[in-house]
A and B are shown apart, each in its own frame.
Chain A
């Protein structure tokens, strides 16, 4: 069977299954279990309505507990155990307490990853938000602003790997005295006449070159959200500032910025979350060599190269711990909104 056809059949079965579930379960509840007639009609309607939300929720809850809740618990367990292959070939998991965490914290590569992640966490959200704000402000007042916005936003639609592949070419270096294929080196050699530099192996600064890729992608996101916020600012406040003789910088930093602070925070945290999980770019460009390791790639290496499931899971827990404050803050905000 042709794969496209097989795919189509799967979609039809899946969608049909969803519809069937939805329709049949509701019919069953209304017609068979608690019919809205007979002596207990009123009570039955109430009971049916108590159950109904769970009918709607069940498929999603089932999927989430299977693919989200169970794996989280399982990873916590794995991070506390060691996989031991016994003499008869079977593997068992032995509880070892915090040994994996201890082993991880004595690994210099782990601390390199932690340090780099912190560096990423400071640079990428700051630069993306700043560039986004700048782009939103600059494109707001030109006639072809919307086209410019689409173009700035375009990298957002490209996958991280795709971007990494493209940027790898941009950072490429050829032997000295030949034409440079990498844009950066072509410009650098053309301007200074120095020998080309292998940008991705320059200690410390290569981290920065990887971050630029993510900034390039995320700026569009920041711009779109912030530009919507900028448009929402009441014009009277700006008019008043102009009448009072404020200059454009004062208007921007003292009138506009404070009014969109909430949105800036949202953009900042969203990008922070992306950064904490950054994997594709590092994996595709340097694979953590030359001092560019980050936590997500460290975990991947532990699991698939060293085959150490305990330490890998432990480093996954570290990422989870770093995300937890943002998670709690968001749930709290959602709660405040409800009241």
Chain B
């Protein structure tokens, strides 16, 4: 078998390889390990300067309990959830429809609209900031979750459409032709034939968009303020100014804020990577 598996290489090469890779990995994850270690230390460790030794006691529940019960963190987390889930649903629903229209029908303007979606995908989001902020303020949606959701849906639709259209193009077109010959209404073709086949794409896209939106910071700062509507990405900075210099709580807060997308990633790893690969290569 080519290339030679590492097990069949000379002994010295094997050992260097097998020690260097884990070492590099630990170095890579050192920031996360450090923060994880800080988050279970008691406050006294920080005043005594015991940052890197054994923790004098394990305060996992005290520290994380404080984050959950004595700060605005749960509200920020809930806000994030309430912003992210509707956006994912909305963007996926819209892009299924546009992807179907652009992938299945041949009509005048099809290519032009498709190119517009591609171009929209590359527009730097900063350029939209002032008008979108004005628009949101004028609609009375400033500092609301809905304002943020509407914008995210609109902005993500470009990327999602690109993704969906390419996926639908790859489906066997004969299926749709056969259904048409049978005299099935177009909306039934979409609902009963194309949509079930799109399930893997929907799953991949949903996971991808979930992390994109959950991790958005720029629009959270531009369109919201205060714990009523701000998601956790913006909340973590106010959380840190609330607990300034209390490193054990700051660390625990950072971990709590980062955890949902990480869990999502590990749970749905296959879909996530499929989504990235499909999105990048196409």
Spell out A's residues near B (CB within 8 Å): 3-4, 7, 10-11, 14-15, 18, 22-23, 26-27, 30, 49-50, 52-57, 59-61, 63-64, 66-72, 74-75, 78, 138-139, 141-142, 148, 150-162, 165-167, 169-170, 178-181, 183, 186, 216, 221, 224-225, 228, 235, 238-239, 242, 248, 251, 263, 266-267, 270, 273, 276-277, 279-280, 283-284, 296, 299-300, 303, 309, 312-313, 316-317, 319-320, 323, 326-327, 330-331, 334-335, 338
Q: Is B118 within 8 A of A71, CB to CB?
A: no
Q: Mark contacts of B88-128 with chain A using CB atoms, 8 A cut-off: 1 yes-contact digit, 0 otherwise.
A: 01100111011011100101001101111111101111111
State the majority secondary structure of interface residues on A.
helix
Q: Say whether, besides A266-B280, A267-B280, A313 and B130 are in contact (CB < 8 Å).
A: yes
Asked whether A63 and B233 contact (CB < 8 A) given A10-B146, A148-B25, A317-B127, the answer is no
Q: Are B161 and A60 in contact (CB under 8 A)?
A: yes
CB-based closest 10 A-B pairs: A159-B215, A56-B101, A179-B49, A67-B154, A71-B131, A26-B187, A63-B154, A74-B131, A7-B82, A157-B265
CB distance A165 to B127 under 8 Å? no
Contact: A154 with B262, CB < 8 Å?
A: yes
A-B contact pairs, 29 of them (CB 8 A): A3-B79, A15-B89, A22-B187, A30-B187, A52-B101, A52-B186, A60-B157, A60-B161, A63-B154, A64-B120, A64-B157, A75-B127, A75-B131, A138-B21, A142-B6, A142-B17, A153-B265, A159-B214, A161-B237, A179-B49, A216-B28, A228-B277, A238-B3, A248-B3, A276-B124, A280-B218, A284-B237, A313-B130, A317-B127
Provide the B242-282 mask, 1 if CB < 8 A to any CB of A, else 0. Answer: 00000100110010011001101110010001001100110
Cα A327 to Cα B32 in complex, Å, equals: 35
Chain B residues near A161 (CB-CB < 8 A)? 215, 217, 233-234, 236-237
B5 contacts the other chain (CB 8 A): yes
Instruction: Assess A70 versus B131: contact at CB under 8 Å? Given A61-B113, A334-B118.
Output: yes
CA–CA, A154 and B269, complex, Å: 10
- Inter-subunit contact A68/B89 (CB<8 Å): no
Partner of B21, one of A59, A142, A300: A142
Measured CB to CB, the residues of B under 8 A from A are 2-3, 5-6, 17-18, 21, 25, 28-32, 34-35, 38, 46, 49-52, 78-79, 81-82, 85-86, 89-90, 93-95, 97-98, 100-102, 105, 107, 110-111, 113-120, 122-132, 134-135, 145-146, 150-151, 153-155, 157-158, 161, 185-187, 190, 211, 214-218, 233-234, 236-237, 240, 247, 250-251, 254, 257-258, 261-262, 264-266, 269, 273, 276-277, 280-281
Inter-chain contacts of A335 with B (CB < 8 A):
111, 115
A150 and B269 contacting across the interface, CB-CB below 8 Å: yes
> Is A162 within 8 A of B236, CB to CB?
yes
From A3, A59, A273, A312, give the contact of B130 (CB < 8 A).
Answer: A312
Q: How far is the CB of B140 from chain A (nearest CB, A)?
A: 15
The distance in angstroms between the C-alpha atoms of A156 and B94, with both chains bound, is 26
Q: Are B86 and A11 in contact (CB under 8 A)?
A: yes
Cα of A272 to Cα of B270 in the assembled complex, Å: 25
Smallest CB–CB gap between A72 and chain B, Å?
A: 6
Contact check, B129 vs A316: say whether CB atoms are below 8 A apart: yes
* Contact present for A148 and B32 (CB under 8 Å): no
Contacting residues, chain A, for B186 (C-beta < 8 A)? 26, 30, 49, 52
* Pairwise interchain contact B151-A67, C-beta atoms closer than 8 A: yes
